Homo-oligomer: A and B are copies of this chain.
């Protein structure tokens, strides 16, 4: 098995050696001797830290970056995004996903939970670039029976190309997928042991429309009433929740994904941190698609989450650096059933090597505070996922070609 030995690196303020064997952290000790490692990395003046698990993306929307910002939501979607999305070919999706993965690696993300079209192309890109991904097979009723049937067939016949790639069943939202299809997809996800990945309670309109159509039930109450919420459900956004909603989501063990940048840019609202803390809901962090963000940086996302919570609820102590760091890292890994998200012997070898001689990390009074509130992607030198080095000393193999292919002009 391939081995990597990282020497003299800072792990939670201790200096250690870290031995990676295959895809796991084999040994973490003050000094590891007598190992003939295939590769040795000098960790002097560097820290090892767990990477990000981005729990809500539409990865190939990178191609629409900066196309029609600062507009009212419906005009933006109907005049800009939807017409342009309709033109995207499978090859575009492949190229857009590869750009997204470059961006993710550079900003320290090794896993993304995706929802988009042409799932085969997203799987291809993620597999080639050796990141972890759960790729959504996405359902919107309006797109027609044929696509729904093909998608279900795809799910039933899916064989993963590697241990890093899974798929998820992704009914888009309650306003695009009706009750029968939602329940059918829920059953499929249970039979196949897959996550159910959906948007939930993103906007006030969604809540109001749902209540009108469903006997005053909120979106969360509605999904509970049709029996599709449980510990396999991953619900993105969850901006507009009542106390009862939070109680349901907590008791059912649903994972909530907070996407602060998109919620702010689209003026959807502020995630209710006091409420979800009160009901002890499981929360992860996601960037959402690039065109409503407009990047895939989980570093930025952590800072936006923490600062938005404080200002929205007039409480400087709300959503501490440590709490939001857990949302962005180990909570995502745990939700996905990955034995990852911590730098610990026996766990999967996912990690970042961070340069402590970077201006943004000086002085080093508190690394997690600097990481959440000050760092940017320039601090990340090396990225390791599943024991593979994805970026070494700022270099990603093949990056130039990937970026060139993603320079798609909007016509």
Residues of A at under 8 Å CB distance from B? 62-67, 69-73, 76, 99, 102-103, 106, 261, 263-270, 290, 293-295, 297, 300, 303-304, 306-308, 310-311, 313-321, 357, 359-360, 362-367, 369-370, 373-374, 376-378, 399-400, 403, 406-410
Q: Are A310 and B65 in contact (CB under 8 A)?
A: no
- Given A69-B320, A267-B316, A408-B311 contact (CB < 8 Å): no
| A370 / chain B contacts, CB cutoff of 8 Å | 65-66, 294
Q: Are A63 and B363 in contact (CB under 8 A)?
A: yes
Q: Are A362 and B406 in contact (CB under 8 A)?
A: yes
**Per a CB cutoff under 8 Å, which of B65, B307, B362 touches A99?**
B362
Q: Are B106 and A307 in contact (CB under 8 A)?
A: no
3 A-B pairs with least C-beta separation: A66-B369, A264-B307, A294-B373
Residue among A63, A364, A365, A407 with the highest chain B CB neighbour number at 10 A = A365
Q: Are B73 and A311 in contact (CB under 8 A)?
A: no
**Per a CB cutoff under 8 Å, which of B72, B294, B365, B400 touches A374?**
B294
New contact pairs (4) apart from A267-B313, A357-B400, CB-CB < 8 Å: A70-B316, A102-B359, A264-B310, A270-B311
Minimum Cβ distance to chain B for residue A79 (Å): 13
Residue among A69, A294, A308, A370 with the highest chain B CB neighbour number at 10 A = A69
Q: Are A376 and B378 in contact (CB under 8 A)?
A: yes
| A263 / chain B contacts, CB cutoff of 8 Å | 311
A63's closest neighbor in chain B, by CB?
B363
**In the complex the two chains form, what is the Cα distance from A407 to B266 in whole Å?**
40
| A365 / chain B contacts, CB cutoff of 8 Å | 64-67, 409-410
Q: Are B310 and A267 in contact (CB under 8 A)?
A: yes
| A311 / chain B contacts, CB cutoff of 8 Å | 263-265, 267-270, 308
Minimum Cβ distance to chain B for residue A357 (Å): 6
Q: Are A69 and B321 in contact (CB under 8 A)?
A: yes
| A106 / chain B contacts, CB cutoff of 8 Å | 359, 378
